[in-house]
Amino acid sequence: MTDVVLDGVNKVYPGDQHAVRDLGLRIRDGELFVLLGPSGCGKSTVLRMIAGLEEITSGDLWLGGTMANELPPRERNVAMVFQNGALYPHRSVRGNMMFPLEVSKDDPAGARGKVVELARALGLDSMLDRLPGTLSGGQRQRVAMGRALIREPSVFLMDEPLSSLDAGLRAELRVEIAALVRATGATTVYVTHDQVEAMTMADRIAVLRDGILEDVGTPEQIYHDPATVFVAAFLSSPPINLLRATAWAVQDQGVILELGPHQLRLPWDDPRATGLISHHGRPIIVGLRADALTTVTGPAHGPELTGQVRTLEFHGHEWLAYAEAGIALVDAHDVAPERAAVPAAAHQLGLGDRMRAMLGRPVNDPDPGPEHTGHHRRTDLIFRITTGDRPARGDQVRLSVDLDRLLVFSPDGRRVDPVRR
């Protein structure tokens, strides 16, 4: 049983760089656990603390029920594949994979057998005598995995092992890696900033932002029931519509969400309505994914938004459309909870303050525009076209809203209704 438990873990680098804050995670034995987040959020730092390559500033690390803060790396039975995992260039594939067994002075005959067996599982058996320089990027990465797995670690750590490969190879290898690590039974922590990789590979995902855990759950939980605006936006392709709205609690109706010229109603028996009571008359953020909006014609059967199509995009398996609907959109990058001095994100603190000020305006005010944010600000509602009849640019469209999939967030980006985990 090698579960990995982080309890209130902090990492402060010299220069007061607070890279990881109060991190609490319980990674289960045999789980394929993905740490997901943008560059600089602390993913590698967490991995390196688990491996024993980085000291833990405060908090506790438990490996298989043993307190591991002070345990030397070699006593942790942990193996790691690095972001730019280098191989020994003058050793063959076999020599690279054999190396850890030579170091631990395994019986040579047994070691050779092990290498052949693992090479077969990794699809490397036909290239055991080749040098790394003669291999493709994907093959080299598999050798690096082989070298890490040969000692049969109980915890296997992978730091963006596919980031240097092209998209096609990444898609292929992520399937192989997931299958392989599941077959080894090792508890695996896999770091990536790629939401597709995270969603497709993980048993569970933890989303980090600025060293803080934003959410943790299965891919489905995190996608359908995200804890914050940041998580909803990070795990959304096409991008989720984040809309500025005002909540109005009306006694015999429920909560009316005012979105520019539109209104949507959440009845009182809806937990989102209850959660919004304290936001009465105040700005909130409404999240609607592209596939929660469907074009409709004929009589109205439910809540709708209307807009004018400005852009159509062909994506092969579907069309995406962008419509101007008179609703101001929110950029997830600008929404940050109030935190005591988040170091690496001084610029974001400024933005957060400005965002709060912006959200405090009446909703029909013009969008303040993209100045200083450094991010492209989308102004149109995005939706998928699923029916045969495709609207043309300039058409007015009616969009039926799947209210069950509507997410409501407070202005600082937290869900107003309870997240189910």
Question: Nearest approach, Cβ of 44 to ligand ATP (angstroms)?
Answer: 3
341 binds ligand ATP (CB under 6 A): no
Q: Compare residues 205 and 245 and give the one whose CB is closer to ligand ATP.
A: 205
> Residue 344 binds which entry of Mg ion, ligand ATP, none, with Cβ cut-offs from 5 to 8 Å by kind?
ligand ATP
161 is an interface residue for ligand ATP by CB under 6 A: no
Q: Which one of Mg ion, ligand ATP, none interacts with residue 307, CB within 5 to 8 A by kind?
A: none
Which helix (H) or strand (E) element contains residue 217?
Answer: strand 212-217
Residue with tokens 């080749």: 130
**From the list 41, 42, 44, 225, which residue makes contact with Mg ion (rule: CB under 5 A)?**
44
Q: Quote the tokens at residue 313.
A: 């995009």
Question: What DSSP string runs through 61-90?
Answer: EEETTEE-TT--GGGTTEEEE-TT----TT
Give the shortest CB-42-to-ligand ATP separation in angstroms: 4
Among positions 36-95, residues that touch ligand ATP (CB under 6 A) are: 37, 39-45
Q: Whose Cβ is closer to ligand ATP: residue 42's or residue 85's?
A: 42
All residues at 6 or more sequence positions from 249 whose CB lies less than 8 Å from its CB, including other chains? 255, 273, 276, 277, 280
**How far apart, in Å, are the Cα atoms of 234 and each of 65, 237, 243, 334, 345?**
33, 8, 16, 13, 17
Q: Which is nearer to ligand ATP, 196 or 296 (CB)?
A: 196
Residue 28 Cβ, how far from ligand ATP at the closest point, in Å?
A: 23
The count of chain residues that interact with Mg ion, using the rule CB under 5 A, is 1
Q: Is 97 in the site for ligand ATP (CB under 6 A)?
A: no
Side chain identity at residue 123, one-letter code: G
Residue 9 found at the interface with ligand ATP (CB under 6 A):
no
Please tell me whether residue 17 binds ligand ATP under the rule CB under 6 A: yes
User: To the nearest 10°, the Cα dihedral for 351, 356, 362, 366?
Assistant: 10
Kindly state the helix (H) or strand (E) to which residue 401 belongs, with its residue range: strand 396-401
User: Which residue's C-beta sits nearest to Mg ion?
Assistant: 44
Partner interacting with residue 53 (select from Mg ion, ligand ATP, none; CB below 5-8 Å by kind): none
d(CA 397, CA 382): 12
Residue 262: which of Mg ion, ligand ATP, none does it interact with, CB under 5 to 8 A by kind? none
Looking at the Cβ atoms of 53 and 135, the one nearer to ligand ATP is 53
Tokens standing for 38? 């943008």
Would you say 122 or 216 has its CB closer to ligand ATP? Answer: 216
Residue 29 C-beta: closest distance to ligand ATP, Å: 25
Beta carbon of residue 41, minimum distance to ligand ATP (angstroms, whole number):
4
When the beta carbons of 116 and 344 are compared against ligand ATP, the nearer one is 344
Least separation in angstroms between CB 164 and ligand ATP: 12
Pair 9, 60: CB distance under 8 Å: yes
Query: Cβ 359 to Mg ion, closest distance in Å?
Result: 32
Q: CB under 8 Å to 305, separation ≥6 — which residues?
A: 259, 262, 264, 293, 325, 327, 381, 398, 399, 401
Count of CB atoms within 10 A of residue 327's CB? 26
State whether residue 158 is helix, strand or coil.
strand
Choices 33-41, 127-135, 150-158, 312-320; region in contact with ligand ATP by CB under 6 A: 33-41
E strand or H helix that includes residue 259: strand 254-259
Binding to ligand ATP by residue 192, rule CB under 6 A? Answer: no
* 12, 135, 296, 344: which one binds ligand ATP (CB under 6 A): 344
41 vs 162, beta carbon nearer ligand ATP: 41
Quick count: other Cβ atoms within 10 Å of Cβ 143?
27
Strand partners, 323: 309, 381
Least distance in angstroms from the C-beta of 6 to Mg ion: 17
Spell out the SS3 assignment of 85-117.
CCCCCCCCHHHHHHHHHHHCCCCHHHHHHHHHH
d(CA 140, CA 146): 10
What is the enclosing helix (H) or strand (E) of 241? strand 241-250
**261 or 374: CB nearest ligand ATP:** 374
Question: Among ligand ATP, Mg ion, none, what binds residue 52 when CB lies within 5 to 8 Å by partner kind?
Answer: none
- CB–CB of 140/87 below 8 Å? yes
Segment near ligand ATP (CB under 6 A); pick from 10-18, 140-148, 277-285, 317-325: 10-18
Q: Which residues bind Mg ion (CB under 5 A)?
A: 44
Applying CB under 6 A, the residues found at the interface with ligand ATP are 13, 15, 17, 19, 37, 39-45, 193, 344
